[in-house]
Amino acid sequence: MANSTLVLVPVWGIGHFVPMLEAGKRLLTRSGRSLTITVLVMPEPEAKLASEIADHIRQEEASGLPIRFHHLPALAPPTDHSGIEEFISRYVQRYAPHVKAAVAGLTCPVAGVVVDLFCTTLFDVVHELGVPAYVYLIASAAMCALLLRSPSLDEEVPAEVEFEETEGGTVDVPGLPPVPACCLPTGLENRKITTYKWFLYNGRRYTEASGIIVNTVAELQPGVLAAIADGRCTRGITAPSVYTIGPVIPFTQSSEKASHECVRWLDSQPPASVVFLCFGGKGSFTAPQAHEIAHGLERSGQRFLWVLRGPPEPGNKLPTDGNLAELLPASFLEKTKERGLVWPAKAPQKEILAHAAVGGFVTHGGWNSILESLWVGVPMVPWPLGAEQHYNAFTLVADMGVAVYMKVDRKRNNFVEAAELERAVKALMNDSEAARKVRERTVAIKAACRKAVEEGGSSSLALQRLCEALVVGAVLPTM
């Protein structure tokens, strides 16, 4: 009989596509090639953003691994959505017939169909085909718990009341300290918009999955994972098995080329002396906010490497290369040239974080960036900009203890005052007892991450259990 195939259905963003594919590759290795991978590729709704995915697919096709890419046709995306969770859910729903046809057309047993975190609208056709359905979260265990908990949270609070208006202004997520409503992910913090309903929809359908695959390490949030397993997030209903297989971080092989200018600059800095500021693929700032950052860094006295991107051009979502003359205060670069570097374009974040000179990371708090920082043991100051990043920021500080809190004004487009950035950077980089505790905790988490992926480690064992479940559960699709 032909090898079983695992069907992956990632959304089109590079930050979703690459980690899901990397997880698939790890399963290939673990299965001893008794599995193959079939990736259903939905076109990027904006053509300008498609090239990065296309380049990645070309690299994988040249690797010789048993990975097949099946390109789905371009469909018109919804235009009346109120948030990204609704947009993804409804756009992916339009692909259900094409996903069904692609899976039904496979001539080998199907071990499962793995959908991205807001793609459970595809479960109907997967169930119709009699194939196991899985969800892959490029997010934390705490985010998994919140998604599973969200339907019952909604029932516990009167519909006309926002979560921040409840007594104490917090919500209960089992396994976590009380979560301030202001830290809920975009899409959950406003119950009046349609995106909120789609958040609940996906959380409700997670219970139909054969398993939930999470890009995390069991040792990061054991209390949350215990709460999921005990049914405390699902009102006593047994939740699907959770497979913590992370950290799934793609590392490219270093080439013979000269190192990046940012890395060369770090080579001349003392160990653990530099605070690195970088805000993800979509993070950018206007001049008023950039001025606040500049003043805060200047007054902090800390060495810094700051990746500063400019706002997107009209009709585009990606940042532009930063025009430093327009974004920065006059004379700032001159005043700080001995201890700081401002880089206006993309920078190799993983390589920079791994450099011995980096001692702290001011980050937007995307989960991929968090894992990259924990993997190398660099403590953080979270500066959330959207999505689930405010929730991540809360858990980093209040649950995991690997970050220093910074006040971010969510109602002013996540604005941070210069004085607050100065305080947070000093608190991260100084030699106080609190800073030492954060650093020690981060080093311990680094060790746990490394141990987890070793043979016999928690993530290695979870990957093995998942692989066995996939091989045993493989079936030919039925129509």
Pick the catalytic residue from 56, 80, 81, 116: 116
Active-site option among 16, 81, 355, 364: 16
- The dihedral sign for the CA sequence 435, 441, 445, 451: positive
16 is catalytic: yes
Between CA 326 and CA 136 the distance in angstroms is 41
CA distance 411 to 408: 9
Closest CA relative to residue 476, chosen from 140, 180, 156, 105: 105
- Other Cβ atoms less than 10 A from the Cβ of 321: the count is 12
> Residue 116 catalytic?
yes
User: Do 260 and 345 meet the contact criterion of CB atoms below 8 Å apart?
Assistant: no
Question: Could you give the residue numbers annotated as active site?
Answer: 16, 116
